[in-house]
Structure 1
Amino acid sequence: MIPFVREFEFAYGRCDAVAPQIRRVVAENPGPFTFTGTGTYIVGEGTVAVIDPGPRLEPHLSALMAALAGETVSHILVTHTHADHAPLARPLADALGGVPILAAEPPILGQDLADTGEEGFDLDFSPDQVLTDGDRIEGPGWTLEAVATPGHTSNHLAFALPEQNALFSGDHIMGWSTTVVIPPDGDMDAYLDSLERVRQGGFATLWPTHGPPITDVAPFLVAYRDHRLAREAQIVGRLEAGDQTIAEIVPVLYAAVDRRLWPAAGLSVLAHLIRLSRHGIVRGTSTGNADLPGLASRFSLV
């Protein structure tokens, strides 16, 4: 069982000091994929960086501007280009007088992937500076280092704060829920590799973009990974029982889950099946793309 953490004190639009050098403002965009809403982080004092400005909501922009009054924003960082993380970056940068926006190179996606049953992609997002793994930015008393964590999306970055031995984990690791991995941009092999990388980082605290921090990090990450592998074993079990399609698998494995989440759950099942296909455990009859089985494909054990 994953030791989820879901309780925390916040109010929409309020700027809370949550740790030394870290403040958070939560946007009012609650939902089945965003929990209570997007938590935008302000790192530092005096000269600061902003992480994940969030959705394009005027009240959230106003709250961030009030929280940043009297300070110099040196950088705006974005963990990935989903629509609950990236769209407010440009309006905030412009309102602050042209602050540079930093993120990984956005994925090249078709318009049909803008809405994936999760929060969708911000197809208009373009950073001013492309970050790659290990890139650092600094301010007075703080350092942020880009940590490539692909899987949830191909361009997902987390940001380490060495002064606090902390990691802003974006959507890669969340305390309130597991993370959705949606092909073709999301990849389960990459996700599991990134999870292991974070585990090896030995961080004392994880600050997800949604929900409260994770402070008992090591056992949480073990449980997080074990859940993924157990889900994969359940999928294999359904194939052994005679299921051949994702439409047959999801109602069984996610019977206790809100049905609004079933479309996204189906995509995560697909991500597992693609991984199993790569490893020679499952055979998928593709639909459309000969190299990538889809939701309507039929699957069987090899």
Structure 2
Amino acid sequence: MSRPEEIAPPEIFYDDREAKKYTASTRVQHIQAKMTLRALEILNLEPDIPQFVLDVGCGSGLSGEILSEEGHIWVGMDISPDMLATAIDRDVSGDLLLSDMGDGIPFRPGTFDAAISISAIQWLCNADKHSNEPKVRLARFFNTLYSALKRGGKFVGQFYPANEDQIVQITGAAKVAGFQCGVVIDDPESKKNKKHYLVLQAGIPDRPLNLGNMSVESAVQKKEKRLSKKKLKRMETKKQYIKRKKILMKRRGKSVARDSKFTGRSRRPHF
């Protein structure tokens, strides 16, 4: 099955027909509610105290309804006019804004206590036109998101990465923007139910994130370690390569020749 972001830009893909079909699906409603509740669980917001929350890529307001049920005040932004029109028809309680997250978060610094996003961030990694450079759009999004959150504010975004490179690309942009960053993976062994949650902190929060026993950034850290080892191997000289192999052989209990000034030196060809 094709990924929606590979078919058309979101403002075109989610037209009036797709918006209504998406919102009317009980299966989609259930999944959206489950993922939103999981995002709120990770955020670990102050109980019984309404928080001002930004919903990035709010669509037709399915995740916003959960925010309202949990007692929070929210503002939703989305690039699709038809999705927002469906949200208005459904009379959602949050304020709605037509805006492209790749153009940045258009709010004053320190506006929001927290932010969530459900099934949206991966769209930033696709260049559907020449002016949409993923690296620039990711940087603009995370820089302005950091500004829009209060110090100590938290963000949890469920997303569907196409591959590990996209995870590294997204988390790398978030770190450059100043966030403390991690990725929580639910059901990592399941292809069908596996879910990625990007977890960000803008400074030190009043309440810690609720990560339970989940490991943070495991996939990203492994990827970065692999990349760094490969890069180091490509950069090493012949002499460094020989010394590294000798150390490895010693650890395995094998006898190796002693180092000398001739170790790794190129020999003249014999004619």
| TM-score bin (small chain) | 0.3 to 0.5
TM-score by length of 2: 0.36
Higher Rg of the two aligned structures: 2
Q: By percentage of residues, which structure has more helix?
A: 2
TM-score by length of 1: 0.33
